[in-house]
């Protein structure tokens, strides 16, 4: 029952993760982000904290206008229904479409003798997109209707992806509603003399004394930038929840951004809550060919990947000839194994580190993998079913006078360590610690299982002890895997 306590009166711990853009579907990088955020929230909960999961959807800006414009120009009224496509994929298709036309137009301009820079400034399609953004910001009704419609398509798609991945949120913020925040803080900083205004009206903060650069906080036209919004959003959340900690699950490419964010809040503005911000920075998922780039089509799509994993689980299971279940049980099992393998593959790596994903070799089902652990669990459950059928009483009668073998001793020691592992994982925000522990436990059990007879053991008392150890191992495996967001089957 580790992990089931939740003290409501505790100050909450805010954890932001996922934070997608609404111009394209989720990919492998988001998967690492989502799995981490969700798992860390479960681990914190198990450590007696009160996590609140929040998502901040980037639903406005030039990139969304690109998709909108491309759809308007080339879409011929296509909808997710008419195209028989998930909404996020459809919108993503037009984002790519925009880029294609953009490149053609820029080529045309260059062939007319323009320089790269000149051409980039004058691409008609880009000018139109910028015009669209201006209209959006001025509240143009038609543009807002289009924006709303296409975003709704995307949300429907995201919901499906999130649900399949098994993650959720307590609260969702939309950037369209928060992007104006932070201006008051900028004003405050100006009055304190922490920031300064340049001749063109733009506002800056000088962090050169802290070893960083000068950073823009407000454009010369008075509009806010990413940093401004993040300052404002942090304050908003602080006032809304009074959290003891605010965790941001964001890739390590934004380390610099968060250094600045903390510095500005803590040192420049003297905000206490700046201290409570923690950037849970995770490494990138690299492909054998290098970094993922959406424009070059080298992204691994989240939906495709999940589908592929589940398919592989099916094939492996059928190859092993284990299909004496009903078809409904089957599909549930294949999801459990396929998604389990994917989640474990990603979570077992230290979050801080970059990791490699090779689609060709795909994800193994043997060795240090979720299916291995799931198999161990299923096997123990099978033992326990047999014990139940044979009406074996698991209760150890006389625990004083028992000689444990080295295998039993090791397993018991291992089981005892579990709460410490969870605590450590909580302190370090590292699901990997739990993954590695559970794997060790499963491995130790398999050795035990292989080397030591259970039902064939003649001494009744020893038999009971072995069964009980098995039962506990299964329990801890199940609990540990649950903290990774991975389910574990009764049989497989």
Partner RNA sequence: GGCCCCGUAGCUCAACUGAAUAGAGUAUUUGACUACGGAUCAAAAGGUUACAGGUUUGAAUCCUGUCGGGGUCACCA
Which residues from 174-203 bind RNA, rule CB under 7 A?
175, 179, 198, 200, 202
Residue 354, Cβ neighbours under 10 Å: how many? 12
Secondary structure (3-state) at 76? coil
- Beta carbon of residue 460, minimum distance to RNA (angstroms, whole number): 15
Q: For residues 429 and 292, what is the distance between their CA atoms, to the nearest angstrom?
A: 25
Judged by CB under 7 A, which of 30, 271, 343, 348 binds RNA? 348
Nearest in space to 466 (alpha carbons), one of 375, 384, 382:
384
Our finding on whether 455 is near RNA (CB under 7 A) is yes
Our finding on whether 98 is near RNA (CB under 7 A) is no
Judged by CB under 7 A, which of 316, 331, 362, 471 binds RNA? 316
Q: How many residues bind RNA (CB under 7 A)?
A: 76
| Residue labelled with tokens 């006078």 | 401
296 secondary structure, DSSP code: G
Judged by CB under 7 A, which of 317, 339, 474, 477 binds RNA? 317
Our finding on whether 138 is near RNA (CB under 7 A) is no
The strand ranges marked E within 2-138 are 13-16, 51-57
Q: Binding segment for RNA among 23-31, 68-76, 231-239, 433-441 (CB under 7 A)?
A: 433-441
Our finding on whether 367 is near RNA (CB under 7 A) is yes
Judged by CB under 7 A, which of 134, 163, 177, 386 binds RNA? 386
Our finding on whether 378 is near RNA (CB under 7 A) is yes
Judged by CB under 7 A, which of 95, 173, 258, 439 binds RNA? 439
Q: Binding segment for RNA among 142-150, 156-164, 182-190, 363-371 (CB under 7 A)?
A: 363-371
- Kindly list the distances between the CA atom of residue 351 and the CA atoms of 98, 183, 428, 433, 479, in Å, as whole numbers in the listed order: 34, 34, 10, 10, 21
Our finding on whether 153 is near RNA (CB under 7 A) is no
Contact of 194 with 205, CB cutoff 8 Å: yes
Q: For residues 318 and 74, what is the distance between their CA atoms, to the nearest angstrom?
A: 45
Our finding on whether 21 is near RNA (CB under 7 A) is yes
Q: For residues 291 and 35, what is the distance between their CA atoms, to the nearest angstrom?
A: 20
Q: Which of residues 40-69 bind RNA (CB under 7 A)?
A: 58, 61-62
Our finding on whether 225 is near RNA (CB under 7 A) is yes
Residue closer to RNA by CB (options 161, 228) is 228
Nearest in space to 233 (alpha carbons), one of 199, 271, 290:
271
Write the DSSP assignment of 328-374 as a string of letters: HHHHHHHHHHHHHHHHHHHHTS-TTS-EE--TTT---SSSSSHHHHH
Our finding on whether 221 is near RNA (CB under 7 A) is yes
Q: What kind and span of H or E run contains 203?
A: strand 203-206
Residue closer to RNA by CB (options 76, 456) is 456
Judged by CB under 7 A, which of 234, 433, 483, 484 binds RNA? 433
Q: Which of residues 245-304 bind RNA (CB under 7 A)?
A: 252-257, 284, 290-291
Q: Binding segment for RNA among 8-16, 33-41, 68-76, 214-222 (CB under 7 A)?
A: 214-222
Strands 203-206 and 214-218, sheet pairing? antiparallel
Contact of 384 with 467, CB cutoff 8 Å: yes
- Beta carbon of residue 312, minimum distance to RNA (angstroms, whole number): 9
- Beta carbon of residue 415, minimum distance to RNA (angstroms, whole number): 16
């Amino acid at each position: 029952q580790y992990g089931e306590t939740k003290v409501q009166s505790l100050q909450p711990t805010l954890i932001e993760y996922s934070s997608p853009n609404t111009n394209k579907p989720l990919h492998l990088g988001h998967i690492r982000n989502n799995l981490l955020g969700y798992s860390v929230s479960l681990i914190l909960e198990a450590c007696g904290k009160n996590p609140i999961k929040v998502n901040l959807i980037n639903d406005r800006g030039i990139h969304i206008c690109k998709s909108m414009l491309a759809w308007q120009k080339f879409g011929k009224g296509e909808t997710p229904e008419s195209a028989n496509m998930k909404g996020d994929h459809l919108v993503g298709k037009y984002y790519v479409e925009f880029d294609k036309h953009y490149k053609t137009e820029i080529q045309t301009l260059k062939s007319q003798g323009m320089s790269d820079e000149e051409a980039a400034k004058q691409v008609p399609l880009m000018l139109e997109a910028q015009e669209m953004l201006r209209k959006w910001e001025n509240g143009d009704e038609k543009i807002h209707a289009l924006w709303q419609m296409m975003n709704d398509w995307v949300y429907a798609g995201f919901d499906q992806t999130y649900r399949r991945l098994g993650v959720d949120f307590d609260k969702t913020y939309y950037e369209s509603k928060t992007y104006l925040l932070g201006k008051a803080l900028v004003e405050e900083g100006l009055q304190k003399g922490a920031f300064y205004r340049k001749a063109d009206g733009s506002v800056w903060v000088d962090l050169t004394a802290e070893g960083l650069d000068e950073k823009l906080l407000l454009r010369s036209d008075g509009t806010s930038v990413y940093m401004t919004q993040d300052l404002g959003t942090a304050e908003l959340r602080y006032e809304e929840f009074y959290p003891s900690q605010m965790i941001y699950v964001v890739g390590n490419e934004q380390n610099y951004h968060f250094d600045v964010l903390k510095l500005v809040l803590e040192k420049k503005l003297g905000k206490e809550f700046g201290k409570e911000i923690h950037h849970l920075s995770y490494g990138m998922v690299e492909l054998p060919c290098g970094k993922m780039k959406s424009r070059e089509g080298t992204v691994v799509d989240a939906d495709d990947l999940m589908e592929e994993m589940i398919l592989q689980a099916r094939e492996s299971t059928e190859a092993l000839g284990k299909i004496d279940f009903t078809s409904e049980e089957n599909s549930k099992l294949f999801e459990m194994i396929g998604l389990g393998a994917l989640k474990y593959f990603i979570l077992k790596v230290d979050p801080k580190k970059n990791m490699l994903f090779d689609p060709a070799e795909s994800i193994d089902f043997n060795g240090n993998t979720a299916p291995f652990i799931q198999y161990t669990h299923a096997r123990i459950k099978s033992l326990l079913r047999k014990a139940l059928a044979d009406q074996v009483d698991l209760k150890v009668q006389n625990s004083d006078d028992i000689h444990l073998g080295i295998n039993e001793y090791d397993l018991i020691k291992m089981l005892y360590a579990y709460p410490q592992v969870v605590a450590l994982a909580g302190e370090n925000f590292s699901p990997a610690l739990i993954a590695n522990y559970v794997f060790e436990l499963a491995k130790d059990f398999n050795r035990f299982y292989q080397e030591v007879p259970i039902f064939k053991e003649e001494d009744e008392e020893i038999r009971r002890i072995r069964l009980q150890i098995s039962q506990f191992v299964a329990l801890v495996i199940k609990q540990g895997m649950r903290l990774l967001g991975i389910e574990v089957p009764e049989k497989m």
